[in-house]
Chain A
Amino acid sequence: MLSRVASSIYWLNRYIERAENYARFIEVNLNMTLDLPRGTTEQWEPLVFTTGDHESFAERYGKPTKETVIQFLLADPANANSILSCLVAARENARSVREVISSDMWEQVNRFYLMVRDALSNGWSRQSLHTFLTEVKANSHLFLGITDATMSHGEGWHFARLGRLLERADKTSRILDVKYFMLLPTVDEVGTPFDIIQWSALLKSASALEMYYKRFGRITPDDVTAFLILDSTFPRAIRYCLIKSEDSLHAISGSEHGAYQNHAEKRLGRLRAELDFGDIEDCLIGGLHEFLDRFQGQINFVGDAIYETFFAPRPIHIHSTIVGAEAQ
């Protein structure tokens, strides 16, 4: 597979997944603020911190309000990570690999883009916002389903899954982080019903509520955190994402599990092992936010290694005598 093509498939999937997760970010915040007691002000600043784009936000908008934050995350073409920008980028990547992906995949990306563009050109209201976020998630799921059902599960598909799951691992960690930034009315309320409501809103935004109940039954902060970080079977849990990403990486390079052929495999393998052999205490020991922050840094590190290993243009060395032997 051409390096450029592999890179486009990888990024196509990262952008679709990113758009979906931005919808989840906004949803988690809407859900949490809906349940705030009367008289408390809505908190939108945490959301901007969670995305890591707070500096570029502050430069252009100043103080965060509900309107500016949603505009920034949804429809701002100058924010490279807004849902609109993600769809533009996803579509451009899809366009450059149309001959490699199935036409059903291309048409879905295109329809998804058109839906987002048209919906955002009309502005948004509270009512339309909810419908829109649901549609973004549904369109992303549809793309994922079409990919699985119409693309051969070969090298290209593995690059797709790799991109999607690394992105998802990163974003699930950020959804968890929203709770860290979201201040409770008073410190005393940690562990109160109100706190629990927020944790369950968070699970809901990760589409994890039902699966969580099946596993743990009742909601406690530690169990929610453990579930979203360490579960090996829930598809939005970080550990699940790393396990499957690693499978794809090995399928691409043909090397065995437990060994590595390149930096990408080495870094991802170590990161996964840390979760395989870790528990919730390990995550909380230095503070959850600090843990998540470090994790995000390491995911970026894996991304860099994937770029260097598979996508970066590098000199090609071929021994002349071998080429000579191939001549007609």
Chain B
Amino acid sequence: MGIRFSQYDPEGFYDELYEEKGQPRAGSTLLLKKFASLPEGELRKRQEAAERVILNMGMTFSIYGSNDGHEQIFPFDIVPRIVTASDWEQIDSGLCQRIRALNLFINDVYHDQKILKDGVIPAELIYTSKSFLQPCMGLRPPRGIWCHIAGIDLVRISDGRYYVLEDNTRCPSGVAYVLEARQVMKRTFPELFEAYRVRPVDGYPSQLLETLRSLSELPDPTIVILTPGIFNSAYYEHSLLAQKMGVELVEANDLVVVDGFVHMRTTKGSQRVDVIYRRINDDYLDPLAFRRDSLLGVPGLIESYKRGRVALANSPGTGVSDDKAIYAYVPKIINYYLAEEPILPNVPTYLCSDRRDRTYVLEHLGELVVKATNEAGGYGMMIGPHASKQEREDCARRIEADPRNYIAQPTLALSRVPTLVDDHLEGRHVDLRPYVLYGRDVSVLPGGMTRVALRKGSLVVNSSQGGGNKDTWVLS
């Protein structure tokens, strides 16, 4: 007998696999029994085998700021997170609702701005958002959909409910890790996949392709993925998706706009491009439209897009819906456009731009998490209970200098999943990022990236800060 599971203790946190000490949840009994039947040291061996597979696949990321070309494999833990069918049903319908509402919101913001005129959201908040792009006013993306690909971060806390923590409606990354994690897990625990009915994730690339095809009226549009290049931290994902969809992966230099149409340079001359899944930020898409100082991008791309001669996914300008201050209004947005109650609630959020909220935040810095409204990846974040006095004071100064740029939320007791530490399991905090596609209809990939904070007690799941990854098993 290898690992004794009666010993595992959730220690008062919501645990995704355990009801309470020694008591597995219904969906995870089979998994934990299997683990218990493995000989001493076997789980560790399989973890190491999985890491070798990841290394040979070249699933690595380079660490920013290290120029010796040092690479690290993406940290991965072989204990999966299990999501029951009924939990998933709620997540699925909640995300579909949210993405429909956000798209209606973005379209409204760049056209009639009814929601501002009706006073549901202060106009000030929109105009001060760094992600609101004036050049997008009046833009008509194909079928009025702006955000086709989204990744929504969810957390579960002590009450057992899922909450939306962040919307990522620009260029959400991570889906490659979902696909590859599943490959690795199938090699690691083939016997468990026979016993469980885990919903497959392999259909994602073909669904993404269908979504991209829906952006063009042509029967067989030429589709490309636009990447910043091999030095981008998500390059692995860009090339994996291009490979699995059978489309070209292009860099900005491969594209050129001639007579208003986008072409790519090939060995046999130029070829027209109809749909671009771009993984470059708005700012760097087109030096003529957004940043004149930028050497990156494709000059003339946005003009071509405005004239409907090429389609972009996501459309420029979608960032206005994942500004963290605007996030606080998403429940109202859902209510306003769909006349529905949000299925997935928001985390309570204090806007530092609001005087009363700001006073509260400044008085309670020690118990709150403060985030910059326009940052992602855990950058610009201060976790009150874990911060030093100095860090809290610096944070307070930054808030007072630029209140619009900050929000605060209570420090959440994120749910945990047992994680292999040396030769035994310990609880580690997780979140969940499911992926939503909006082509002819909305669909949610059954699974998602479960990010895990590998450091004991840590709440930060970002890979740049000691986070890792787990496979997410949605049961059917």
Contacts and interface: CB of A to CB of B under 8 A. Distances in A.
B272 A96 contact: no
A310 B229 CA distance: 21
A6 B267 contact: yes
B270 interface: yes
Q: Which of B235, B242, B258 has the most CB of A within 10 A?
A: B258
Q: Is the interface of B mostly helix, strand, loop or mixed?
A: mixed
Contacts of B194: none
Contact of B58 (A4, A110, A327): A110
A78 interface: no
Nearest to B246: A99
Interface string A9-34: 00000000000000000000000000
Contact of B256 (A92, A98, A99, A316): A316
Interface string B260-272: 1101111111101
A111 B260 CA distance: 44
A2 B271 CA distance: 9
Contacts, number: 81
User: Interface size class for chain A?
Assistant: 20 to 34
Nearest to A7: B267
Contacts of A314: 265
B266 A3 contact: yes
A5 B253 CA distance: 12
Given A2-B254, A316-B258, A316-B270, A99 B265 contact: no
Contacts of A110: 56-58
Nearest to B53: A107
Interface stretch (A126-134, A141-149, A212-220, A318-326): A318-326
Contacts of B55: 114
Contacts of B243: 98-100, 103
B266 A106 contact: no
Interface of A: 1-6, 88, 92, 95-96, 98-100, 103, 106-107, 110-111, 114, 155, 252, 310, 313-314, 316-318, 320, 323-324, 326-328
Interface of B: 55-58, 69, 217-218, 229-230, 235, 239-240, 242-243, 247-251, 253-254, 256, 258-261, 263-270, 272, 308-309
Sort A-B residue pairs by CB-CB distance and give the 6 closest, nearest first: A99-B242, A99-B243, A98-B239, A110-B58, A316-B270, A323-B259
Given A313-B253, A327-B309, 19 more contacts: A1-B266, A1-B267, A2-B254, A2-B266, A3-B267, A4-B254, A95-B58, A96-B229, A100-B243, A107-B56, A155-B267, A316-B256, A316-B270, A318-B259, A323-B260, A324-B259, A326-B261, A326-B272, A328-B217
